[in-house]
Amino acid sequence: MSRREATIRRETSETDVSVGLKLDGTGASTIETGIGFFDHMLIQVAVHGLLDLNVRAIGDRHVDNHHTVEDVGLILGEALCCATGERTCIRRYGSSIVPMDESLALVAIDLSGRSGCWIEAPSADKIGSFDAELIEEFFVGFSRGGRLTLHARILRGGNRHHMAEALFKAFGRALDDATAIDRRRDGVPSSKGSLS
């Protein structure tokens, strides 16, 4: 079994993003995007997904936070691709339903090799100073970079902070589930014999 970790850096005229990901971690993280609420959400992913996660992002935040959030999702997805390699011996599917007070979130992941994202989450207004519509941009970028199918949905909610936090916690747990080693499996979890 490989070390199941990766470090990726991508620099463009809009952002400079580096992500270090260790799938078999303890939930340790160092997150520095310059966007406080987003940092808080990424910490939830690490803690509840038991991933070691290091994220450093410098973006054109004088424009807005869109490029930074989207590119962090994209690069985190690419790091996942590198860390899972050929995706042998993993469960492939992961899901989680997480409550946070009055809010309830569901996330389901398929490490299928095919990108797709379907999301129902808060998109109007702001959560503090964070544009809620960027939650979807993060997950779309992640599914594209990670070559995976992702469904995320708020089943019940009131407070937008609670809804978002429940969603990111569920995402971390679902990711841990999907990438977990299945000791009974020898090879790729697909009848086609490939997840690429």
| Cα distance between residue 177 and residue 109, in whole Å | 9
Tell me phi and psi for residue 59, to 5 degrees: -135, 175
Asked whether the beta carbons of 71 and 10 are under 8 A apart, the reply is: yes
Task: Out of 3.30.230.40, 2.60.120.10, 3.30.420.40, 3.40.50.300, select the CATH number for domain 5-179.
Answer: 3.30.230.40
Across the beta sheet with 149-156, the strand order is 93-100, 103-110, 149-156, 116-120
Average pLDDT over residues 60-64: 86
Indicate the SS3 state at residue 179: helix
pLDDT, tens only, 104-118? 999 999 998 899 999
For the chain, the domains span: 5-179
Does this model's pTM top 0.85? My answer is yes
